[in-house]
Amino acid sequence: MHLSPDIEEIRRRFHDLVAKRKAESLSTEEQHELLELTDRIEEFDARRVELLAKLARECNVTLTELMAETS
């Protein structure tokens, strides 16, 4: 599955910031950015699952079956 360039960049930055946090070199500003990115990723993932569930209902399959077919 190809994600939009925006969400891919958000995830890339998220992982960069997580690495900095693990290295204990995260600034206060970056800490706030990490929290904002976490919220955005959670919203994106929730919307994705919502849309997949809708598609599964329309195709008369379970969400698990649909996800197995699309991964």
Please compute the mean of the pLDDT values over residues 44-58 and round it to a whole number: 94
pTM here is: 0.79
The answer to whether the CB of 21 falls within 8 A of the CB of 4 is: no
* Burial of residue 11 (number of CB atoms within 10 Å: 0-12, 13-18, 19+): middle
pLDDT(1) > 80: no
Size of the chain in residues: 71
Q: Which residues, other chains included, contact 51 with Cβ-Cβ below 8 Å and sequence gap of 6+?
A: none
Give me the chain's average pLDDT, please.
Answer: 92
Q: Give the model's pLDDT for residue 27.
A: 97
